[in-house]
Chain A
């Protein structure tokens, strides 16, 4: 990518921002930083030089506010950069700005932001949803103002908006990219994801970010990474064994989506890949498990926002009816409050051995089931791998195509249960921490994405498979 090209992209940012509400704050030094990187000859060799990126606003940056699109962190400045922000900077990428999201990552539409909904650049003037929660990051890529964007994927937050905007959205294996500086929503799921239109860009960025980090206890350490190398295939297989889970073909999916999915299957089969029907019966528990665990973790993680040390604080009172910090915490948005209440309910001691613990056990069972169908071992669980297993799984990314913002906000999806159902294709991989990428099925105005899913740690196979579709 050339400097000239990058600068001309930057020039389009204000208009794109006005039209689609992509960013929560903009880096006004971006052009200067690009030129400085270009002047420094030695640094021109850096892997991401002249590349523009956007960073989801739940990732800590020192130079721009980090708000999580929440009133409670309005104007909050982080005293440090997230590890991934440092790595990107060192690799030469220039950050255009922080991107809009569903508050704290909670939402599937990209509509539940303190700064207003993000609009889908594929449908100018139509006010269609982008999908969430990494709505601004997807929109920035779709609108061509950046080469790539960083998002976070907790239950599908990178893959769903990627599907709705016809771009690539990659959620690596849990633990490959440091979460230090990523503001936790549900950290046993939260995974930094990379969005772009180019698979080569995603691969380059992943290479930069795929590092151990002693500051993040959940980031794979060097010894686990070394162990991983010993089990991964030495050479990329040209012919893959691809599984299609029965449970991912429910009724009620739009015929157009099914058609596109089947055309991808045909395309892959024509290239010599083999298909296998498989069954993962525990997948039906995914949503209940996810919506038991994720809100519980959220309720816990968001307990720190009391206004005492940072963030917005109620100007008059620290408590209401003897409930400490209630006036300040009133500033959370409705969806966040709903999930905090749900999470606390799930954790309450009224339920013997609370729901959280039960859901954790079911999560382990689901992971075991995934292990049973993959050919590759799993270094985390110690599964040896199934000799006759598959290399990757293929499924749709979403059960629906994007709707208008007004319909999303007033229709059935306003009901939490309905909007949560939207996550049915994405949460199982989040529960198992599997590398997954959403790939567009075409360039048309009906965005539909398919997911390629690999065994834990087998991110490269997933990324390499993309070239056969996109």
Chain B
């Protein structure tokens, strides 16, 4: 008899991926997030898991290293952070949760167990909504239900030196607080997964409880998935969004293949855990090799008792949630397009930004209020554009944090600057020069007080020429035209065939007038001189 074997698990992801309607994907997520509390979960050592590169095993107390005779001491800040998240997700906070021990041996697990919450987790239920408008999923809206939130310890880190047949262990991360959030299997396409991760990342950043970065491992995502309700496969070791997406695609195709070949009873009969090696999902554990964690309530740590009032207090102290802010910004009086509203609300990454989202949003809202008073609501788009493009652009270029810039250019000064432009008291070009100049001086600490805009405008002679001398303008334009060596260009403008060349001439005029004459005036004058009637 002929036999042929297929090696499931070694098939590259196809370029063109699509979900097939007869093979239904069902996914749930399990997300671990490091809380950026000052101290670790059960000790007073500094919570700085990223110090490892320079100083391994530096932020470790006797307890973190499991020195005999030491005991855990619960960090209440972690409880506060967890409460913030639970409340933001509408989860029901367990007013008396408990810590349990989960046993397994590993080199970077100093106690021989992890302290987690198994029998009575911190919060249950809750949900997060994804919408087409805000999160760009294909459906109008999709509610992702949350099963539970639990607080637990992170492990240390193993660094494998295969060549030397050695692993190095760094316990800086050991006992760092984590919150594990588990969703129900509500996802059925990839966009939903991607959007949820992004939204959840932004939420923890917004709440100020985590950097939310996948790259550093501050956030780690496991995916539970099944196809056509076959057995569940758990995907682990997914370091970033693209590997999450690739792993789900690969695993979907692998399972579809198995189903198509009628091999479900042998290959998809039992739940298994698979990892991602960059090209394929590979089996890590199946039922036979499952670890029995021998859960046990921790005999030393007391129950975490919270009062209803404490939870209500946390609820009241929460900042407005991002979806709500976006909706507000897109409505009257701001009327921002989604893209701009998101820039003002959603933190693209947890760090390497010159501002926190709250700083930026507050700055914008305050500037908006003051600007509208001076310039009216109609031209508010100008303020938005200047905030998002000019201001942020300059901050990034200069590596200048917003909070520093605000000292020199507080909202009322910024609003004043934009109002001056709007009222054509200075030209757009002068405004740009001025803004850059102010920020550059701030960066170099040459200005430290709120700037006196009028004085600077005066100093640089930037105020727009109020009434332009007609003769003077004609003279400047003639001069520019006489210096043009390409007569074809001029005739092209006259005939209207080379309309863009006119812009070149206007640019020359702006330079000659140091931007103090509005471009429109130059445009009109050149057209007149060249008899261009278009």
Q: Do A and B come from one complex?
A: yes
- A interface list, Cβ under 8 A from B: 59-60, 66, 68, 73, 76, 78-80, 82, 179-184, 186-188, 214-218, 296-297, 299-300, 302-306, 308-310, 318, 324-325, 344, 347-350, 354, 356-357, 360
* A214 CA / B299 CA spacing, docked (Å): 17
- The interface residues of chain A lying within 8 Å CB-to-CB of B62 are 79-80
Give the residue name and chain of the B residue nearest to A82 (CB). Answer: B69
- Docked Cα-Cα span, A306 to B107, in Å, equals 8
Chain B residues contacting A68 (CB-CB under 8 Å) are 68
The contact of A324 among B73, B106, B296, B299, by CB within 8 Å, is B106
Question: In this complex, what residue of B is CB-closest to A302?
Answer: B112
Known: A79-B62, A306-B105, A325-B105. Contact between A300 and B113, CB under 8 A? yes
Binding site for A on B (CB under 8 A): 62, 65-74, 101, 103, 105-107, 110-113, 119, 169, 292-297, 299-302
Which residue, B111, B293, B300, B302, has most C-beta atoms of chain A within 10 A? B300
Quick check: A344 and B294 within 8 Å, CB to CB? yes
- List 7 interface pairs A-B (beta carbons < 8 Å), by A numbering: A217-B301, A299-B294, A303-B105, A303-B111, A306-B105, A309-B65, A349-B292
Tell me, rounded to whole Å, the shortest Cβ–Cβ distance linking B511 to chain A.
70
Q: Across the interface, do B294 and A308 meet the contact criterion of CB distance under 8 Å?
A: no
Structural contact, A179 and B71, CB atoms closer than 8 A: yes
* A187–B300 CB distance below 8 A: yes
Contacts of B103 in A (CB 8 A): 299-300, 303, 347
The 8 closest A-B pairs by CB, nearest first: A303-B112, A347-B294, A188-B299, A324-B105, A181-B69, A60-B69, A304-B66, A183-B68
In the complex, chain B residues whose CB is within 8 Å of the CB of A76: 68
Q: How far is it, in angstroms, between the C-alpha of A300 and the C-alpha of B119 when the chains are bound?
A: 17
Nearest-Cβ distance from residue A317 to partner chain B, whole angstroms: 12
Q: Which residues of A contact B112 (CB under 8 A)?
A: 300, 302-306
B111 & A304 in contact (Cβ 8 Å cutoff): yes
With the chains together, A18 CA to B367 CA distance in Å?
A: 86
**Residues in B whose Cβ lies below 8 Å from that of A216:** 71
- Report B-chain residues with C-beta under 8 Å of the C-beta of A303: 103, 105, 111-113
User: B297 near A360 (CB under 8 angstroms)?
Assistant: yes
What chain A residues lie within 8 Å of B297 (beta carbons)? 356-357, 360
Q: Across the interface, do A180 and B111 meet the contact criterion of CB distance under 8 Å?
A: no
Asked whether, in the complex, the Cβ of A180 is within 8 Å of the Cβ of B65, the reply is no
List 15 additional contacts besides A217-B71, A300-B101, A303-B105; criterion CB under 8 Å: A78-B67, A181-B70, A186-B299, A188-B299, A217-B74, A299-B103, A300-B296, A304-B68, A306-B112, A325-B105, A347-B294, A347-B295, A348-B292, A348-B294, A357-B119
Select from chain A the residue with minimum beta-carbon distance to B65: A309
Q: Could you tell me the distance between the alpha carbons of A153 and B293 in the complex, rounded to whole angstroms?
A: 29
B292 touching A214, Cβ below 8 Å: no
When distances are taken between beta carbons in the complex, the residues of chain B under 8 Å from A308 are 107, 110, 169
- The smallest C-beta distance from A105 to any residue of chain B, in angstroms, reads 12
CB distance B294 to A215 under 8 Å? Answer: no
Bound Cα distance from A214 to B73, whole angstroms: 8
A66-B68, A179-B71 as given contacts; A309 in contact with B294, CB under 8 Å = no
Note all chain A residues with C-beta closer than 8 A to B106.
324
What CA separation (Å) do A310 and B65 show in the bound complex? 10
CA distance A349 to B66 in the complex (A): 25
What is the minimal beta-carbon distance from A128 to any residue of chain B, in angstroms?
Answer: 31
- Which residue of chain B has its CB nearest to the CB of A216? B71
Residue from A179, A183, A302, A347 in contact with B296 in the complex, judged by beta carbons closer than 8 Å: A347
Contacts of B169 in A (CB 8 A): 308
Closest to B301 in A: A217
Pairwise interchain contact A180-B299, C-beta atoms closer than 8 A: no
Q: Is the CB of A217 within 8 A of B296?
A: no
A309 to B66, Cβ gap below 8 A?
yes
CB distance from B284 to the nearest CB of A (A): 14
A462 to chain B, nearest CB (A): 25
Tell me the minimal C-beta distance from B301 to chain A in angstroms: 6
Q: Are A215 and B110 in contact (CB under 8 A)?
A: no
- Cα distance A76–B72 in the bound complex, in angstroms: 22
What residues on B are CB-neighbors of A354 within 8 Å?
A: 294-296
Asked if B294 and A297 sit within 8 Å, CB to CB, the answer is no
Smallest CB gap from A59: residue in B: B69
Compute how far the CA of A186 lies from the CA of B299 in the bound complex, rounded to whole angstroms.
8
Give Cα A15 to B313, complex, Å: 67
Residue contact B295 to A310, C-beta cutoff 8 Å = no
Distance in angstroms between the alpha carbons of A217 and B119 in the assembled complex: 20
Complex: A349 Cα to B294 Cα, angstroms: 6
A66–B301 Cα distance when bound, in Å, is 25
Tell me, in angstroms, the Cα distance from A356 to B300 when the chains sit together.
15
Compute how far the CA of A360 lies from the CA of B299 in the bound complex, rounded to whole angstroms: 11
| Contact yes or no, B110 A309, CB < 8 A | yes
**Closest residue of B by beta carbon distance from A310:** B67
* B296 pairs with A73, CB closer than 8 A: no
Question: Is the Cβ of A217 less than 8 Å from the Cβ of B69?
Answer: no
Once the chains are docked, how many angstroms separate the CA of A184 from the CA of B71? Answer: 9
In the complex, the chain A residue whose C-beta lies closest to that of B299 is: A188
CA distance A309 to B171 in the complex (A): 11
Tell me whether A349 and B295 are in contact in the complex, defined as CB-CB below 8 angstroms, given that A217-B300, A217-B302 are known contacts: yes
Quick one: closest A residue to B42, CB to CB?
Answer: A217
Q: Which residues of B contact A348 (CB under 8 A)?
A: 292, 294
The CA of A431 and the CA of B478, in the complex, are separated in Å by: 104
Contact of A218 among B110, B119, B294, B300 (CB under 8 A): B300
Contacting residue for B299 out of A78, A187, A306, A349, CB 8 A: A187
Complex alpha-carbon distance, A242 and B69, angstroms: 37
Contacts of B65 in A (CB 8 A): 309
What chain B residues lie within 8 Å of A297 (beta carbons)? 296, 299
In the bound complex, residues from chain B placing their C-beta under 8 Å from that of A304 are: 66, 68, 110-112
C-alpha gap A30/B110 in the complex (Å): 35
Q: Separation in Å of the B110 CB from the closest CB of chain A?
A: 6
B-chain residues with CB within 8 Å of residue A302 when the two chains form the complex: 112
Whether the pair A217, B72 counts as a contact (CB closer than 8 A) is: yes
Distance between Cα atoms of A181 and B107 in the complex (Å): 24
